[in-house]
Structure 1
Amino acid sequence: MRAAYDEIADWYESEFLPRNADDPLGQRRVLAGLLGRGEGACLEIGCGTGVHAGVLRDLGWTPVGVDLSAGMLRHARPRLPVVRGDAARLPFRDGSLPAVAALMVHTDMPAYPAVLREAARVLRPGGALVHVGVHPCFCGGFADRADPEAIVVRPGYLDGHWTKKSWTDQGIRDKVGASHWPLAELLGAFLEAGLALEAFAEGDGPTPVILGVRARRP
């Protein structure tokens, strides 16, 4: 199976990541604040090129990654142990992991509710899932972020559709597309997966680009 990110893996590694090396959206801050220090394996769902592995190690966790894209995993292998697989059918045993992280990937996964159910399945009782993704209220094909001081929100927020429409040609959505999940549907998917919502965080800036959620398997 060929994944959409296979086509852009080299561009992502050599051009996109260097432009975002200083964490302008606050992803690392939100991840660290919600996950906290711990030990044992932390599975990163949709690990891509493994760029977040260092943050997980700094927090004491042992990062392990899963991704569908062979092209992205080619760059990830020097950074963390990885397996190629479908996030909606994780190759891990029930209740085997103390922590799971999903970082900037939920818009890449049209079956994200199924991914959350899988995360709940592989988590140990009491284990935490940390989701960090684009903010559903302020990011999507309906949002024009060309002026960061005055985001223009157009009709389409409630449509919940997949689109390649983007305000910039320097990002990812215009290349591989993205699914949009309105806030109520996104949070509801955590509850439907049997996870208990525990904490939230938003990114930096006058209008946050990212939303973080910590949920736990009861």
Structure 2
Amino acid sequence: MAAYDGIADWYENEFLGRGPSGEGDGHPLGLGPLLGGLLGEGDGTCLEIGCGTGVHARSVVELGWTPVGVDLSARMLRYAGGRLPIVLGDAARLPVRDASVPAVIAVMVHTDLPDYAAVLREVARVLRPGGRFVHVGVHPCFCGGFADRADPDAVVVRPGYLDGHWTKESWTDAGLRDKVGASHWPLPALLTGFVDAGLVLERFAEGGAPTPAVLGVVATKPDRVG
């Protein structure tokens, strides 16, 4: 995700619309309620993978958790440092002890990671038994280089959904894909990654209307005692 070093200022001030005051709704898709509903209230450390500029930290705190962020982009972390404790690190090699955190979240980052299956294995490693993982990402069925969302009422899906590829092709120059590229994971490949990592799929949610733009997944690490 170091590719984000070159667009960190644009991402924080224009894409997120926070401006110099640091205010704004936090994300163009308004993901706070969706994230909150999936994560739920709790306490202890909540590790955010690919925390970027730390835009979701406030939502996590309001639920009672203590957020800690990890990201590969030093320039994104310059913004995040004022919002939550941060670590510069690779999501596929998390600088976190085995079975040490009760919650992990990954919000709108899985398409930025070249090997999300490896990241999911790391999530399973660092979660405590019974711990919760919340994934919120672009909806694999309706978002990608194969999808034209210029008309929100009639998304056009072209061939290419099943290919699973990295691309900079985008229907808009106001987003991220044309700037840093994105990896596409068809729905079966994405969900199989959770299962292969040993995580138990528990809940799902979609966000955006009329055609969903995001998919949310809640998974847990099995309790060894149970």
Q: TM-score range by the shorter chain?
A: over 0.9
Q: Does 1:140 pair with 2:140?
A: no
Matched, 1:163 2:162: no
The equivalent residue for 1:52 is 56
Matched-pair identity in %: 73
Residue equivalent to 1:76:
80
1:92 equivalent in alignment to 2:91: no
**Aligned-pair distance for 1:50?**
0.2
CA drift at 1:15: 0.6
Query: How many residues are treated as equivalent by the alignment?
Result: 217
1: distance between equivalents of 2:31 and 2:155?
20
**Residues 151-190 of structure 1: CA deviation (Å, up to 9, x unaligned):** 0000000010000000100000000000000000000000
- Whether the 8 Å CA contact 2:49–2:71 is kept in 1: the answer is yes
How far 1:25 moved relative to its partner? 2.5
How do residues 111-122 of structure 1 correspond to structure 2 at under 5 angstroms? 111-122=115-126
CA deviation after TM superposition for structure 1 residue 21, in Å: 2.4
* Counterpart for residue 18 of structure 1: 17
> By how many angstroms is 1:14 displaced?
1.0
Could you list the structure 1 runs, at least 4 aligned residues long, displaced by more than 6 angstroms after superposition: none
- Cα distance, 1:24 vs. partner? 4.8
* Alpha-carbon offset, residue 30 of structure 1: 1.4
Shift of 1:26: 4.2
| Counterpart for residue 152 of structure 1 | 156
8 Å CA contact 1:146–1:167 kept in 2: the answer is yes
Question: Residue in 1 aligned with 2:21?
Answer: none
Q: Pick the aligned partner of 1:205 from 194, 209, 225.
A: 209
Amino acid at match of 1:206: P
Q: How far apart are 1:127 and its partner, in Å? A: 0.1
Q: Is the 8 A contact 1:26 1:203 kept in 2?
A: no
User: Aligned equivalents of 1:148 and 1:59: distance in 2?
Assistant: 31
Q: Matches of 1:154 and 1:201 in 2, distance apart?
A: 24
Return the alpha-carbon distance in structure 2 between the equivalents of residues 100 and 10 of structure 1.
26
Whether the 8 Å CA contact 1:26–1:204 is kept in 2: the answer is no
Residue 95 of structure 1 aligns to a residue in which SS?
A: coil
Tell me the residue number matched to 2:198: 194
Aligned with 2:182 (options 178, 183, 186)? 178
Identify which range, 45-54 or 16-25, moves more after superposition. Answer: 16-25
State the structure with bigger RCO (CA 8 A, min sep 6), 1 or 2. 1
TM superposition score normalised by structure 1: 0.97
Q: Which amino acid in the other structure matches residue 17 of structure 1?
A: L
**How far apart, CA to CA, are the structure 1 residues paired with 2:33 and 2:109?**
17
> Per-residue CA shift, 1:89-109, capped at 9, x if unaligned?
000100000000000000000
Once superposed, what is the RMSD of the aligned Cα atoms? 1.2
Q: Gapped runs of 5+ residues in structure 1?
A: none
Q: TM-score, normalised by structure 2?
A: 0.94
